[in-house]
Amino acid sequence: MPHRKKNSNAFDFDAVVIGTGPAGEGVSMQLSKAGKRVAAIERYESVGGGCTHWGTIPSKALRHSVSRLVEYNQNPLFNDNNSTRSLTFADIMQHASGVIRKQSRLRSSFYERNSVPVITGEASFIDKNTLSVSRNDGSVETITAKQFVLAVGSSPYTPKDIDFKHPRVYNSDTLLSLKHHPKTIIVYGAGVIGSEYASIFRGMGVKVDLVNMRDRLLSFLDTEISDALSYHLWNNGVVIRHNEEYESVETHDDYVVLNLKSGKRMKADCLLFANGRSGNTAELALKNVGLKADSRGQVKVNSNYQTEVENIYAVGDVVGYPSLASAAYNQGRFAAEAMLSGECHKALVEDIPTGIYTLPEISSVGKTEQQLTELRIPYEVGRAQFKHLARAQIADTVVGSLKLLFHRETKELLGIHCFGERASEIVHIGQAIMQQEGAGNTIEYFVNTTFNYPTMAEAYRVAALNGLNRVF
């Protein structure tokens, strides 16, 4: 540990941030740049949190590799002898591991440049100004601070009646250490994580059974987009079972059996259980400061990201919605402002973009058709099919479309829904217009501006014209 000067209050630090994911990084950097003495505590050897090591970065790197593999196998320019190339999970993890290392080194450099020491160990509260940190070598250190931030993230929900130590049973964290190459897999849970991994494994040629507890996939999406995903998974050979719940999981040396409450039995080489996540609060000894996490390990905060204990703040997955890496970083910055000035003058934008990295990709921002109908807002729809765009034809990414929802009378842009390759990039063009004040956020912007040609962005012009032609 570096030598620490104590201030007049005799605290080791002005603030200690527990966790180094996007949320923790946002707080630490903002407080350090404001001249505060900050330390970060990380239970693992490398900074970056679940986002860098087990979640966002590795799964998207895996997806990219599989997407290129599918493209290679389907493109006659590269594959003119009709021989299908395959890669094992371990093969494509090598690429993902390289990205993880680069990201972790980059994030580590932020802490070094901003003079924020990173203490490796497991943190637990002694009182509201004191932490006990258990290091990996068995030693225990006591650290005091005026303020604390819980940026501890979340972990996959693992019910006790399923043996997750069995080599054929995985959650989204342990899946990254998959050694064998399964021919069949059951994905239990059809949320964002389950749908993404179902796409990834199917792209690798693995037979996939996707078990969904609800009556349709990703029910928070616009219904047409959800239906499009269902169709493309089905068309690629994924078996989707809706309205199902598990009864039990039988584990064997080289396969697993999933018994459903409906009486169905399913057998596969391995099981990925991807049904929910819980906040990482169990080891924090929150009772010592008078805090209590809910059944999902989450803590309540006010608009300043302040818990019920005035000097303890919380950001990121541990506070629940929206549980996105992109939003978590901003939450960290906003919490730092509240810690510095007593009040946070900023808030997350109301319309937070959603990026879902299935094959094909999905991204949306704003209202869905179902929400606008329920609110009785008179809207119209403008569509652009990717198969009609020159850039999509050139790149052979013709699956998908862009859908714009706008007010019939004011032409205000109300929702953007994109399905297809690069959807999460395309959506940001429309998002920028949606955030404009007054008359600047109308669909007519896309008609009156000039787009590069050929581009995928041109879909906005096509969709805007399509929508305006419906208005009479």
- The annotation places the binding site for NAD(+) at 189-196, 276
Q: How far is CA 43 from the centre of its chain?
A: 21
Q: Are 311 and 128 in contact, with CB atoms under 8 Å apart?
A: yes
| Residue pointed to by tokens 């000035």 | 341
Binding residues: 42-51, 60, 189-196, 276, 317
Binding residues for FAD: 42-51, 60, 317
| Residue 174 half-sphere exposure toward CB, CA atoms < 13 A | 17
Other Cβ atoms less than 10 A from the Cβ of 114: the count is 15
**Cα distance between residue 315 and residue 30, in whole Å:** 14
Q: Are 55 and 77 in contact, with CB atoms under 8 Å apart?
A: no
Q: Which residues pair with 256 in a beta bridge?
A: 251, 268
Q: Which two tokens stand for residue 422?
A: 């690069």
